[in-house]
Structure 1
Amino acid sequence: MTIRDVAKQAGVSIATVSRVLNGSDKVSPDAKQAVDRAMASLNYQKPAIKRRKPTKLFAVIVRNMTNPFFAQLVDVLEEEAYKHGRSILLFNSRNNLQLEKTFMSECVNHKVDGVFLIPRSLKPQHLADLDALPFPVVLLTATSNQTASIGTNHRHGGELVAKYFVEQGYHRIGFIGASDKLSDRFIGFRRELERLGRELPEQRVLAPYTSQSLQAFISREIAQQDTQLEAVFCSDDICASHLYNAMKAMEIARRKQVEVVGFDDTFIAQSLGFSSVRQPMKQIALLGFDKMIAALQDGELEQSPTLLEPTLVVRHAPAITALERAPEILRSE
Structure 2
Amino acid sequence: MTISDIARLSGVSVATVSRVINNKGYVKDETRKKIEAVIEEHGYRPNAVARSLTRNDTSMIAVIMSNRLNPFFANVLDAIEEQAAMQGYSILFFNTSEDKERERNAVAQAMEHRVSGILLLPVIEPDARTEELLWNAEESGIPVVLIDRDFQDGDFDIVLIDNKKVVYDGVELLIESGHRDIGIITCPEVVKKGRTRLEGYIQCLKDHGLKIRDEYIYPGDFDEKSGYQACEAFQGLANPPTAVLATCSSCTLGCIRFMNEHNLLPGKDLGLVGFDDISLLNSIGYELTVMDRPMQEMGEIAFGLLTDRMKGPDTKKRRREVMLRTRLIIRGSEKWQGAPEAVF
Match of 2:262 among 232, 246, 250: 250
Structure 1 consecutive aligned stretches of length 4 or more whose deviation exceeds 3 Å: 50-53, 121-126, 209-216, 251-256, 268-271
Counterpart CA distance in 2 for 1:255 and 1:280 is 24
Report the counterpart of residue 318 of structure 2 in structure 1: 303
Does the CA contact (< 8 Å) of 1:238 and 1:268 recur in 2? no
With a CA cutoff of 8 Å and minimum separation of 6, indicate the structure with the bigger relative contact order.
2
Per the TM alignment, residue 214 of structure 1 is displaced from its structure 2 partner at its CA by 3.5
Query: TM-score, normalising length from structure 2?
Result: 0.70
Report the counterpart of residue 290 of structure 1 in structure 2: 304
Q: How many pairs were matched up?
A: 274
Query: Percent sequence identity over matched residues?
Result: 22
Single out whichever of 187-196 and 151-160 deviates more from structure 2: 187-196
Question: CA, structure 1 residues 129+303, in 2 after alignment: closer, same or farther (shift >3 Å)?
Answer: farther
Per the TM alignment, residue 314 of structure 1 is displaced from its structure 2 partner at its CA by 1.0
Which AA in structure 2 matches 1:129?
L
Per the TM alignment, residue 139 of structure 1 is displaced from its structure 2 partner at its CA by 0.3
The superposition leaves residues 200-246 of structure 1 with CA deviations (integer Å, 9 ceiling, x where unpaired) of 3111121126568436414324xx7xx34221101122212211221
Does the CA contact (< 8 Å) of 1:237 and 1:269 recur in 2? no
Counterpart CA distance in 2 for 1:308 and 1:258 is 30
Counterpart CA distance in 2 for 1:253 and 1:263 is 18
The superposition leaves residues 177-198 of structure 1 with CA deviations (integer Å, 9 ceiling, x where unpaired) of 3534971222211222112212
Single out whichever of 198-207 and 267-276 deviates more from structure 2: 267-276
Does the CA contact (< 8 Å) of 2:171 and 2:201 recur in 1? yes
Counterpart CA distance in 1 for 2:103 and 2:253 is 28
Does the CA contact (< 8 Å) of 1:156 and 1:309 recur in 2? no
Does the CA contact (< 8 Å) of 2:186 and 2:220 recur in 1? yes
Per the TM alignment, residue 100 of structure 1 is displaced from its structure 2 partner at its CA by 0.5
Does the CA contact (< 8 Å) of 1:241 and 1:268 recur in 2? no
The superposition leaves residues 241-286 of structure 1 with CA deviations (integer Å, 9 ceiling, x where unpaired) of 2112212213346873311111122224534221111112222112
Q: CA RMSD in A?
A: 3.1
Query: TM-score, normalising length from structure 1?
Result: 0.73
Does the CA contact (< 8 Å) of 1:269 and 1:275 recur in 2? no
Per the TM alignment, residue 65 of structure 1 is displaced from its structure 2 partner at its CA by 0.7
Does the CA contact (< 8 Å) of 2:161 and 2:326 recur in 1? yes
Which AA in structure 2 matches 1:102?
N
Report the counterpart of residue 168 of structure 1 in structure 2: 177
Does the CA contact (< 8 Å) of 2:266 and 2:272 recur in 1? no
Question: CA, structure 1 residues 140+67, in 2 after alignment: closer, same or farther (shift >3 Å)?
Answer: same
Does the CA contact (< 8 Å) of 1:143 and 1:306 recur in 2? no
Structure 1 unmatched runs, 5+: 1-12, 24-31, 36-49, 318-333
SS of alignment partner, residue 277 of structure 1: strand
Single out whichever of 57-66 and 266-275 deviates more from structure 2: 266-275
SS of alignment partner, residue 150 of structure 1: strand
Match of 2:133 among 129, 134, 156: 129
Question: CA, structure 1 residues 269+122, in 2 after alignment: closer, same or farther (shift >3 Å)?
Answer: farther
Counterpart CA distance in 2 for 1:248 and 1:98 is 37
User: Aligned pair 1:76/2:91, yes or no?
Assistant: no
Counterpart CA distance in 1 for 2:71 and 2:229 is 24
Which structure has the greater CA radius of gyration?
1
User: Aligned pair 1:154/2:168, yes or no?
Assistant: no
User: Aligned pair 1:240/2:255, yes or no?
Assistant: no
Per the TM alignment, residue 311 of structure 1 is displaced from its structure 2 partner at its CA by 1.2
Counterpart CA distance in 2 for 1:156 and 1:300 is 34
Counterpart CA distance in 2 for 1:165 and 1:151 is 24
